Chain A
Amino acid sequence: MAAVHDHDVAHAHDHHPSGMMRWMMTTNHKDIGTMYLWFSFIMFLTGGVMALTIRAELFQPGLQIVNPEFFNQLTTMHGLIMIFGAIMPAFVGFANWQIPMMIGAPDMAFARMNNWSFWLLPPAALLLLSSFFVPGGAPAGGWTIYPPLSVQMGMGMDMAIFAIHIMGASSIMGSINIITTILNMRAPGMTLMKMPMFVWTWLITAYLLVLVMPVLAGAVTMLLTDRNFGTNFFNAAGGGDPVMFQHIFWFFGHPEVYIMILPAFGIVSEVIPTFARKPLFGYSSMVYATASIAILSCIVWAHHMFTAGMPVTGQLFFMYATMLIAVPTGVKVFNWTATMWRGSMTFETPMLFAIGFIFLFTLGGFSGVICAVVPIDIQVQDTYYVIAHFHYVLVSGALFGIFSGAYYWLPKWTGHMYDETLGKVHFWLTMIFFNLTFFVQHFLGLAGMPRRIPDYALQFADFNMISSIGAFGFGLSQLLFLYVVLKCIRGGAKAPAKTWEGGKTLEWTLPSPAPYHSFETPPVVR
């Protein structure tokens, strides 16, 4: 499977477009991966500024900084931007950089379409963010855009709907590309059960994306026609039902949360064996656990809707199905721990983030099981307990996975070692401020503080103040990450091909930085 590169055939390597045109026209998986990662970081800061504005407002009771309408726009846009702009593109960036290198391929299967998958994101982000400046402002019904609220909102909602359409098209193209690359472009000898875990988790994630992104497109299309073309899908007077939107939305929405966590599982499953200097414990059970989680994730959606009204039988089914997910997840946590057992461990920054991930993601998983219990969920629905739960799985889960992977592969990408001391400082600041921000929100939620409200009763004041201080600390700590990355790109100690002594996957056989076209001739995997 040697690769033919169109421009190489024509005339050596001499006519790459340069400057901005290089990035706009590129068909190279590394260029595209880099763009995904930078786009994601910019969106991370954008959504972060919104989060900090929310926390500043909540620093003390009363209304002081923003008005309630704008507050709701911020919570909505924070969610949409972080999910569709920050977390998902970051993982696609990792997929672009790593999958061809880890399976011994020259590039992605559809290199030109790969470019389009990325370049659909900036227009979508522009569309979404400019909704702040139109009459009526940005969507303010929560990221779940439930009708009837979302049917009544101003034109910002239509812009969000079209942005979701474009981002969905990008995700579907990206995931078809990833599936095809993994199924069709592995090096000779790399059977499915020899693939690195990161590649496995992305294969399963990509299947989930192809399964549910079109359903979201359908859901928002029905919103669009209800808003503008007189249909009555979500209007009881016409025989429709607003709860139907919730069912269709969460059929997308629940697999979506696994779309955001499975690639992080993959990264952690690469990092832990490397720094424990032992092969991953229970590789095949890891693969089956990942697949089970993905399958189960498609039949638990209504646990987001326990208070929306449903028969007791339905509640019981969705409760037990949800709790069942704890089994394969437990298998994974067990395997990571068993991998570390009696390993000769060192604690470089990627490993710190991976261990932080295991601790805190497991906590988020526990609060997830608690939320799954119907009588408890009826109490904590729409409180800060839920906010705390999903930030433990999305920030200390997905985001910690991203940080772990970024530190792990930065030397391979840039050819330089990052600053280990600053990396560790970044980890500890992130770890401490994260818990300061979100741990106290469990207490706020249990005490009854509702989410998406800019003001609160006096009794919640202390914990909110702590949480806001933590949030600002967390936000500022991320600027340190930016500094570490920039410093690493500009220079630093030369990274060897095999940066980490325990690295066993194919990318460590390539020089650092990795050559522009990964494997021109395929390696043979024994």
Chain B
Amino acid sequence: MIYPLIGLLLGILVGIYMPINVPVIYAPYMSIAVLAALDSVFGGIRAIEENSFNMNIFITGFFSNALLAGFLAYFGDRLGIPIYLAAIFAFGVRIFQNLAIIRREIIERLLKK
């Protein structure tokens, strides 16, 4: 459970010391990418808790989610319709669902001990 937190801290540190800047135009894409990554993290933790983690599914899921979300954001921009809201909505719902499952698994595990 400690590895993700270490990774997050490392990422934040590297991000602070590396001058990465996102132009304003790409801010919506970036927010969607953040959401996709967050969704993948929760999905992965859930899979570990359920002992059904599959590396291939995890990696392809991460990239395909991010790509589709980015495509929706771009397409919505062209059409003038905020389709990327669909991605945000789907990711948001899934993050909370995964969190609920993780919580239940952890509580069950703790109670069994």
Asked if A pairs with B, the answer is: no
